[in-house]
Amino acid sequence: MVRDGYYYGLVLLAGALLIGWLTSPVWAVVPVLLAAFFLWFFRDPERVIPGDPAAVVSPADGKVTDVSTVVVDGEPVQRISIFLNVLNVHVNRAPVSGVIRAVRYQTGKFLNAMNALSAEHNEQNTVTVEGGGHTVVFKQIAGLLARRIVFTKSAGDRVERGERVGLIKFGSRVDVLLEASAEIGVKTGDHVKGGSSILAFLKSERKELAGTAGHAQQGAL
């Protein structure tokens, strides 16, 4: 469990005991139920991480709401959007292994995370990871209820695929931006699990092309 769950849960349980002692046990039911909810909400289950080095795993639990091609800095990239409702596990995980090259926090609005505009206008944290000759970007996006984004890593840190890297409290959204050549393995409507569900596979076309070019030069000689 994320330690925040203990904070919320213990405070509410203490409040329930105080209310029950000062008034009636009946009035303690509500804070007890809220304590149980927070203890459950901040659960952090273990996951089996895929071993394929080309795999891009989901950074969060939730439902895939969009798989599309968008233009970023003049280049086409594939975007996978995942919506987390209040019932999902909200711990975020690294989609790939590599080194964090950039972390950029952007203040903004708190539109419904299902709204397409939330990807650009909502408060969010954008993380760029480089590894194995590829660059993967993922965004932690605040939603209508989510008012706090937690990211526990910094630029320069190395992360492993499926490693815990943060948390978005309550309903929210996570976007993953991949190279145009990536082989997407999910579709809109799919339900995914953070750290264990494979979203896509990164192709090693650059390395293959480089090897082909080397053989061609040797043949020419």
List residues with catalytic annotation: 172
Look up residue 28 and give its amino acid: A
Q: What angle do CA 24, 37, 41 make, to 5 degrees?
A: 160
d(CA 149, CA 152): 10
Question: 153: which residues sit within 8 A by CB, 6+ positions away?
Answer: 100, 103, 127, 159, 165, 166
How many CB atoms are closer than 10 A to CB 86? 14
The kind and range of the H/E element at 80 are strand 75-84
Q: At what angle do helices 3-22 and 29-41 cross, to 10 degrees?
A: 170
CB 41 within 8 A of CB 12: no
d(CA 146, CA 183): 31
Q: How many residues does the chain have?
A: 221
